[in-house]
């Protein structure tokens, strides 16, 4: 069983049934960063709300080590602690909290340095990825709690490299796109799917200022041009695009906005193995 951008909704669909029961993830042999962040948000929220879900974590040692090195234990107290030696994994950029806009540029620089420490990257694609991170990271403090209703508004980001791609995931448990857009006059009463469509394809935002919005549309265009994968999930809808398909689909309810950006390594000029696979360091 794999927990990925394409499969995590199957887990979210059955999660409410497991309140007070045991969720068995022992057979999971792969987790991508998008699914990891959703696990962190879902189980972190369940712990805060004292919803008793007992999780049987993956028994696959490589998956355990990777999840630990990516910092899942920092977000989900029930995740088992690993022995220090097991911190040596292929993890690239562990889960990082994003709460204040003042911290965004520093966090983006840290992500970029983590990637460029592992690979000699070419300029323009690296700068494009920096722009993507700047926009996605700042969306969390800008929009995730636009109604002011959350006590601890924050988001998470993580990044991982694979044989064929670089994978960036950004997620929050905030008010979501529909609630955000409803703050704009005339845009209340929308479904999650329509709100996603308006924001990603039409470039709308909660502001009427014509300079606001359009960033997710630009990122979607970039990912499409680079033959990557782009997913934006909010509420009960998910927009999914890859080289073969693209559209907005129904999804089980989940708060906030979760985004996956998977880009082929070739756009970064990476055709060599990593230059450094030393243990990773958490961004402070």
| Residue closer to other proteins (CB basis): 65 or 198 | 198
CB nearer other proteins, residue 216 or residue 232:
216
Q: Pick the closest to residue 137 from 112, 115, 162 (CA basis).
A: 112
Which residues would be at the binding site for other proteins (CB under 8 A)? 101-102, 104-105, 108-109, 123-124, 127, 130-131, 134-135, 138, 142, 203, 210-215, 218
Q: Is residue 198 helix, strand or coil?
A: helix
Q: How far is the CB of 95 from other proteins (least distance, A)?
A: 21
Give start and end residues of each alpha helix (H) in the chain.
Answer: 8-14, 33-48, 61-69, 72-75, 104-118, 123-143, 176-182, 192-196, 215-225
Question: What's the chain's length in residues?
Answer: 284
Using CA atoms, how far residue 20 sits from 23, 82, 173, in Å, is 10, 26, 22
Whose Cβ is closer to other proteins: residue 18's or residue 224's?
224
Min separation Cβ 219 and other proteins, Å = 10
Quick check: 137 and 107 in contact, CB under 8 A?
yes
Q: How far is the CB of 257 from other proteins (least distance, A)?
A: 17
Give min distance, CB of 203 to other proteins, in A. 8
- Min dist. Cβ of residue 40 to other proteins (A): 24
Q: Which is nearer to other proteins, 203 or 252 (CB)?
A: 203
The smaller minimum CB distance to other proteins, of residues 9 and 103, is found at 103
């Amino acid at each position: 069983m794999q927990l990925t951008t394409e499969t995590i909704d199957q887990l979210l669909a059955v999660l409410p049934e497991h309140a007070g029961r045991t969720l068995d993830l022992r057979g999971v042999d792969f987790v991508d960063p998008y699914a990891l962040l959703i696990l962190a948000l879902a189980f972190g929220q369940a712990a805060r709300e004292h919803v008793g879900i007992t999780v049987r974590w993956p028994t696959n040692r490589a998956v355990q080590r990777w999840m630990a090195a990516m910092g899942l234990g920092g977000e989900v107290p029930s995740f088992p602690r690993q022995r220090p030696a097991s911190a040596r994994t292929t993890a690239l950029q562990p889960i990082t909290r994003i709460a204040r806009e003042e911290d965004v540029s520093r966090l983006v620089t840290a992500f970029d340095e983590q990637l460029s420490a592992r690979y000699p990257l070419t300029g323009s694609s690296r700068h494009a990825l920096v722009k993507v991170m700047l926009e996605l990271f700042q969306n969390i403090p800008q929009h995730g709690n636009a109604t002011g209703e959350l006590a601890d508004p924050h988001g998470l980001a993580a990044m991982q490299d694979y044989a064929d791609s670089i994978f960036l995931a950004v997620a929050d448990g905030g008010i979501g796109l529909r609630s955000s857009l409803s703050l704009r006059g005339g845009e209340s009463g929308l479904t999650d799917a329509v709100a996603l469509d308006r924001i990603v394809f039409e470039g709308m935002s909660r502001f009427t200022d014509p300079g606001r919005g359009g960033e997710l549309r630009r990122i979607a265009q970039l990912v499409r041009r680079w033959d990557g994968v782009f997913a934006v999930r909010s509420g009960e809808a998910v927009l999914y695009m890859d080289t073969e398909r693209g559209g907005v689909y129904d999804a089980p309810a989940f708060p906030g906005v979760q985004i996956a950006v998977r880009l082929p390594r070739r756009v970064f000029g990476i055709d060599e193995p990593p230059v450094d696979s030393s243990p990773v360091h958490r961004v402070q």
